[in-house]
Structure 1
Amino acid sequence: MKRTAGLACAVLLLLAAPVPAAHADPPSPRRTLQDVRAEVDALYRQAERATGTYNAAHERVLAQQKEIVALARVIDREQARLRTLTAQAGALARAQYRGGGIGPGVGLLLGDDPDAFLDGLVLADRGAQAANATIDELRTTTAELGAYAHSATVAWERLMADQKKAADAKREITTRLARARTLLAGLEARERARLERLEDEAAYRSQVAWLRTDAAARLRRNAAGATRQGAAAVAFATAQIGKPYRWGAGGPAAYDCSALTQAAWRAAGVGIPRTSQEQWRLLPRVPVASMRPGDLVVYFEDAGHVGIYVGDGAIVHAPRPGRRITMAGAGSMPILGVVRPG
């Protein structure tokens, strides 16, 4: 009994002992709004970069689909031509077989009417030329058909690759935007308002610093007026102020950044590429100090954002999800360069 009582006491002591906390995660410090702002900014920048990839891949997919349709039509036409030529070549072969393959010299020796034979010889020569032409055309058509089929295969492979690239980019965009929304949803209303003020304050500090640069000073001294087309592009862009940014949107109710600049210049009668990266790559570049209203200001090292210069050191742009098209300082973000559509 004493042994049993002692064992029971030992068990009770073990149960009462504190559980070791060796595997418990240390409490994480509360994140500041600056931390949240930095992560949200990074997520939106990553989503914007992926948006450029998606838009470029989507544009290529549309072009490749048209190319494949055009190639299919050419291949269908060439196949019909090949069938016709094959039938002609077969008819020529059968005619030669029925004629016994006797050469014209033998026919001249055996024939009773040399004049008739000479007339027939001319016709036979023309027939031989026609047969050779048919065979040559048949070979050419077969080679062309093979080339078109190869082009169609390559175009199809490119299409599949770009569709995958677009799908991967869309998944990345969705993931990044969802993460940003989750972070923002975890804030109270007053914290979200404060977060927007922090963004605006950072943009203001960047603009003030830019205004002190030599390029900004030269721009103020050499301010140039807008061309007719530039003024039309600016008028369109400023008319969109207040509309929401929406990923992939091309108007008229909402825009992303590059869709806004594209639509603005379309309103001015000038077609420009869809993405900020392509706008930066393909449009003529001008010095920052020489930009004029209507020029496009491209931002960040990857050309991931773009706005339209409206004069007086300001741009109109579609900032990011959750914000609306607005006017901002041209130097409120790191400037990569300036391009001029018109």
Structure 2
Amino acid sequence: MAAHRKPRQRSIGGHTARTAATLALAGAATATGFDGTGHAEPQLTPAQVKAKVDKLYQEAEAATEKYDGAKEQADSAQRRLNALRDETARKQQKLKTARDALGSIAAAQYREGGFAPAWQLALSGDPDRYLDDAAFAERAGDRESAAVSRVREQLREIEQLRGAARVELTSLRSRQAELRRQKKTVTGKLAEARRLLARLTPRERTEIAGAGGTGPGRASRSASDARDALEQAGSASAPNARAAEAIAYAYAKLGSPYVWGAAGPNAFDCSGLVQAAYRSAGISLPRTTYAQINAGRRVTRSELRPGDLVFYYSGVSHVGIYVGDGQIIHAPNPSAPVRLAPVDLMPFAGATRVA
């Protein structure tokens, strides 16, 4: 019988070792590249970073406007729900009073030797069902019938209020879910923009922040300085006192930070600044750009007068206040405060006159 021999293990050497090493190096080269770059993101120029950041800010602002709209609707739903709950509580108190009155009537009849149907109603665990008994109406006296009618009506009203509250609660939860979705979108876009900007030098970031704007030297003025600046710049006069007041408010907020979802008094997003400016002038505007554009009379680019609202991008996701001399005041994005800018800096989508 042939002896069973354990096969000898071959060491990795010679050609085999060289092949393995070659494959390993090839894999490493594929993963990282011999020059250290491989699949890493390519180095972007400041101009390319600016283009990407501008796009992210635009997308974030579109989501911000949706967030603002959802928040406005959620707040309204919450107010309606609170009002319904308050009304239900008042109705329940009235129901208790009415049932107590029925109990008093029944107690009096019991002392006189009778056990009125009203007493059965007061003790019933399901009074509405009991009231459906046609025999009750035949047995109840006039006084009891009136009291029972009040109880029955109050039960019906309470159930209607509870139904309306359930609808509002569903609406509120839907709006809150939309808020969470838009908040996630906004924060994601802004985080990506910050990551791109962090790759630039401080000087490059400053140049990007100032591009298309007016620089920090024009970022803070008082309301009186604002009016003086309008005259010195040779701008057309505001057409009325309300437009002038809104413009003065906007000038007074130059340099205020951009914060998404904010509507003043110390920070703003674009539609929040417009809303606050006209609120100071006694005019109530909707919260979002896509509602503000329909809040007044549409005007063309050539018809612009100081105080008009100018909207940008195809989705109407940005707005500024025209102040004359080819300039708007707007809240641009998180990288720049409230500032003056050329009216044609962004793609024109429409304009509205609200004062």
The two structures have a TM-score, normalised by structure 2, of 0.72
Q: Which of the numbers 18, 26, 34 marks the counterpart of 1:21?
A: 26
Structure 1 segment 89-104 matched on structure 2, within 5 A: 89-92=102-105, 95=109, 98-99=113-114
In 1: Cα distance, 2:308 partner to 2:177 partner: 34
The answer to whether the aligner puts 1:328 opposite 2:347 as a matched pair is no
Greater Rg, structure 1 or structure 2? Answer: 1
In 2: Cα distance, 1:291 partner to 1:13 partner: 76
In 2: Cα distance, 1:169 partner to 1:7 partner: 58
In 1: Cα distance, 2:326 partner to 2:205 partner: 28
- Deviation of 1:186 after TM superposition, in Å, equals 0.6
Structure 1 segment 1-342 matched on structure 2, within 5 A: 8-14=13-19, 17=22, 19=24, 21=26, 24-25=30-31, 26-27=38-39, 29-92=42-105, 95=109, 98-99=113-114, 128-196=141-209, 225-281=238-294, 283-288=295-300, 289-342=302-355
In 2: Cα distance, 1:145 partner to 1:340 partner: 46
Q: Which has the higher helix share?
A: 1
Aligned length: 293
- Deviation of 1:79 after TM superposition, in Å, equals 0.7
Cα deviation, 1:23-71, whole Å, max 9, x if unaligned, reads 8255564333343222212211121111112222222233333222222
In 2: Cα distance, 1:5 partner to 1:57 partner: 70
Preserved CA contact (<8 Å) 1:224 1:291: no
- Deviation of 1:310 after TM superposition, in Å, equals 1.0
Gap runs ≥5 in structure 1: 102-126, 202-222
Preserved CA contact (<8 Å) 2:258 2:336: yes
**Distance 1:20-1:84 versus aligned 2 partners, 3 A rule:** same
Cα deviation, 1:216-258, whole Å, max 9, x if unaligned, reads xxxxxxx784211101111111222232222233333332211
Give the counterpart letter for 1:146 in structure 2: E
Give the counterpart letter for 2:297 in structure 1: R
- Deviation of 1:194 after TM superposition, in Å, equals 4.5
Q: Which has the higher contact order (CA 8 A, sep 6+)?
A: 1
In 1: Cα distance, 2:9 partner to 2:18 partner: 14
Give the counterpart letter for 1:284 in structure 2: G
**Distance 1:13-1:237 versus aligned 2 partners, 3 A rule:** closer
In 1: Cα distance, 2:57 partner to 2:149 partner: 61
Gap runs ≥5 in structure 2: 1-7, 32-37, 117-139, 215-235
Give the counterpart letter for 2:205 in structure 1: R
**Distance 1:91-1:310 versus aligned 2 partners, 3 A rule:** same
